């Protein structure tokens, strides 16, 4: 009797010291965060301080929507979530993160969270001076390559979350990482079809660090800068014609008329010669068809990764038939490189479309931005 009485007293005292757990249904009252341009994700703040991120376009053609629950760390012990309702549950703010695309790095830096990055695949391609310094100091570990991410290394450094980049849902490394209780969340910034749509993915990263207001402010600044450059371009008195792309194994690859790259040319008040094409991706054309349409084009931008006219002419003598080649009006992003040779355009341009647009306005209409210093597009050497 005495033992039973003492046990009940102990159980009562112990229960009083335990935090009461609250079960949170996925349908808890929520308020959507404003996403104005991006099509691939949404953010909702629930009445229980949990943030829900839903990614509907992790890769082209995806039919699944991935839902991630971000829970303040101080509340993790006091709530119960239906794990089957979410693809990942992440405690925030995150202190240790692995990302898998160079386009993720500028977002972390802009939010002031570069020091939270502890791992990245193929670190040699990172161009940012800030993150390169951390790589050189051993603070960011190389995780192999994205197509075959070294899951053992990821598990060893034990990040709180891995931000994944994938072309489909068959990445076995991510499955291994998730089985080790490390959350993997997909980022689909690269699937967006508009310049501002890509840049708005900074709002995707913000909740992981509880910096939603800062992300919104940063994006509004980029949006205003982009729109101002677009308005400025409309003041130009002429609308030059533009060619893009180059040959690869006898096929000329260039942006479709409804693609991210062609939108920049349109917004810079220039006439992209394939703007009547509806493709949102790239086109594969013959050299003959490109010469026929674009031999007299005023400008040629993004000629693959050629850095000078000698390389271009050596690669194919027919390039010299284009007026833009003969008039030295070819501009490339290939000469804007980081310390280890990574191209800054592929890392920073999706996050700073306003700088890309200003580059092109400066090229097509130099009288509008006479003292501007380009960030990405520079004349071929």
Order of strands, edge to edge, in the sheet holding 246-248?
Answer: 246-248, 251-255, 282-285
Structural domain spans, the chain: 22-222, 234-379
The pLDDT tens digits of the residues spanning 30-62 come to 788 899 999 999 999 998 899 999 999 999 889
Q: Which CATH number fits domain 234-379: 3.40.50.300, 3.40.50.40, 3.40.50.1220, 3.40.50.1980?
A: 3.40.50.1980
The pLDDT of 122-128, averaged and rounded, is 94
Kindly report the CA angle at 200 between 197 and 202, in degrees rounded to 5? 145
Q: Give the list of residues 6+ apart from residue 88 with CB closer than 8 angstroms, or none.
A: 66, 68, 69, 161, 178, 183, 184, 185
Two domains, one topology: 22-222 and 234-379? yes
The pLDDT tens digits of the residues spanning 172-184 come to 999 999 999 999 9
Name the DSSP letter for residue 33: P
The pLDDT tens digits of the residues spanning 188-226 come to 999 999 999 999 999 999 999 999 999 999 999 999 999
Cβ-based burial of 140 (10 A; exposed 0-12, middle 13-18, buried ≥19): buried
Neighbouring CB atoms inside 10 A of 160's CB total 19
Alpha helices in 212-352 (DSSP H): 212-233, 260-267, 287-294, 309-315, 323-326, 344-348
Which CATH fold would you assign to the domain 22-222? Rossmann fold (3.40.50)
Using the predicted structure, report yes or no on whether residue 344 has a pLDDT greater than 60. yes
Using the predicted structure, report yes or no on whether residue 8 has a pLDDT greater than 50. no
Q: Which of the two residues, 147 and 263, has the higher pLDDT score?
A: 263
CA 325 to chain centroid: 32
User: What's the whole-model pTM score?
Assistant: 0.91
The pLDDT tens digits of the residues spanning 69-115 come to 999 999 998 888 888 999 999 999 999 999 999 999 999 999 999 99
3-state secondary structure of 346: helix
Using the predicted structure, report yes or no on whether residue 4 has a pLDDT greater than 60. no
- Per-residue pLDDT band at 6 (split at 50, 70, 90): very low
């Amino acid at each position: 009797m005495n033992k039973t009485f003492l046990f009940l007293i102990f159980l009562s005292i112990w229960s009083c010291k335990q935090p009461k757990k609250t079960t949170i249904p996925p349908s808890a009252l929520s308020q959507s965060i404003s996403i104005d341009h991006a099509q691939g994700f949404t953010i909702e703040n629930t009445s229980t301080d949990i943030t829900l991120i839903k990614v509907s376009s992790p890769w082209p053609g995806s039919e699944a929507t991935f839902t991630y629950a971000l829970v303040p760390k101080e509340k993790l012990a006091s709530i119960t979530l239906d794990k089957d309702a979410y693809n990942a549950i992440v405690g925030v703010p995150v202190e240790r993160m692995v990302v898998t695309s160079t386009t993720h790095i500028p977002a972390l830096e802009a939010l002031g969270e570069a020091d939270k990055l502890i791992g990245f695949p193929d670190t040699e391609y990172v161009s940012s001076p800030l993150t390169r310094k951390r790589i050189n100091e051993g603070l960011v570990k190389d995780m192999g390559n994205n197509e075959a991410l070294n899951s053992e290394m990821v598990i060893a450094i034990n990040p709180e979350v891995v931000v994944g980049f994938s072309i489909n849902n068959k990445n076995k490394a991510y499955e291994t990482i998730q089985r080790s209780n490390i959350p993997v969340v997909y980022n689909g910034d690269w699937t967006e079809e508009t310049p501002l749509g890509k840049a708005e993915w900074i709002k995707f990263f913000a909740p992981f660090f509880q910096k939603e207001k800062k992300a919104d402010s940063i994006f509004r600044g980029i949006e205003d800068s982009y729109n101002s450059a677009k308005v400025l371009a409309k003041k130009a008195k002429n609308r030059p014609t533009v060619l893009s792309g180059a040959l690869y194994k006898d096929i000329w690859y260039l942006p479709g008329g409804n693609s991210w790259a062609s939108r920049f040319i349109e917004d810079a008040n220039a006439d992209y010669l394939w703007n009547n094409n509806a493709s949102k991706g790239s086109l594969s054309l013959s050299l003959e068809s490109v010469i026929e349409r674009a031999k007299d084009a005023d400008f040629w931008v993004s000629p693959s990764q050629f850095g000078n006219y000698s390389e271009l002419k050596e690669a194919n003598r027919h390039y010299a038939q284009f007026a833009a080649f003969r008039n030295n009006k070819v501009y490339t992003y290939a000469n804007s490189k980081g310390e280890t040779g990574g191209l800054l355009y592929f890392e920073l341009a999706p996050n700073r479309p306003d700088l890309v647009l200003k580059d092109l306005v400066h090229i097509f209409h130099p009288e509008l931005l006479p003292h501007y210093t380009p960030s990405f597009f520079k004349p071929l050497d």
